[in-house]
Amino acid sequence: MKFELILDDLLTIPKVLLNFLKYYLSTEGQEKLESLRRDCKDPKIKRILIIGHAYNYFASLIPFRYLNSRYFSRVEENQDSTEKICVLYEIDEFNSYYNNLQDTQDTIFIFVASLGNSIQIRQGLKKLLTAKVDTSHIWGVSDYEESFLGVNSHHFLNLKYGTEKIMGTKSYINAILLLYLIGRTIMDKEAIPSKREEDIRKLIFEIKFYNQDWENHTQNLMNFLGENIDNLFFLSKGASLSSAYQTSLNFKAITQIFCVALSIGSFLHGPIRIVDKNFRCVLIIGDETNLKETNLLINKITQEKNGKIILLNNSRKLSSIGRSNKNVFVFEHTTENMYLAPIFEIIVLQYLILQIAKNRGLMN
pLDDT for the residue 342: 98
pLDDT for the residue 72: 41
- Pairwise CA distance, residues 172 & 161, whole Å: 9
Q: In a 10 Å sphere around its CB, with 0-12 CB exposed, 13-18 middle and 19+ buried, how is residue 70 labelled?
A: exposed
- Pairwise CA distance, residues 65 & 88, whole Å: 10
pLDDT for the residue 77: 52
Nearest in space to 105 (alpha carbons), one of 12, 42, 165: 42
The residue among 84 and 14 whose pLDDT is bigger is 14
Alpha helices in 131-193 (DSSP H): 148-151, 171-186
pLDDT (tens digit, 9 = 90+) per residue, 224-234? 999 889 999 99
Instruction: List the CATH code of the domain at 3-200.
Output: 3.40.50.10490
pLDDT (tens digit, 9 = 90+) per residue, 256-298? 999 999 999 999 999 999 999 999 999 999 999 889 999 999 9
The yes-or-no verdict on residue 75 having pLDDT over 50 is no
pLDDT (tens digit, 9 = 90+) per residue, 87-118? 999 999 999 999 989 889 999 999 999 999 99
Which 3 state secondary structure label does DSSP give 4?
A: helix
pLDDT for the residue 74: 42
The yes-or-no verdict on residue 80 having pLDDT over 70 is no
- Pairwise CA distance, residues 136 & 125, whole Å: 13
The yes-or-no verdict on residue 71 having pLDDT over 60 is no
Domain 213-359 belongs to what topology?
A: Rossmann fold (3.40.50)
pLDDT (tens digit, 9 = 90+) per residue, 331-352? 999 999 999 999 999 999 999 9
The yes-or-no verdict on residue 34 having pLDDT over 70 is yes
The helices-and-strands tally (H runs, E runs) of the chain is: 16, 10
- Pairwise CA distance, residues 251 & 260, whole Å: 10
State the pLDDT confidence band at 84, using cuts at 50, 70 and 90. Answer: confident
> Where in the sequence of the chain do the CATH 3.40.50.10490 domains occur?
3-200, 213-359
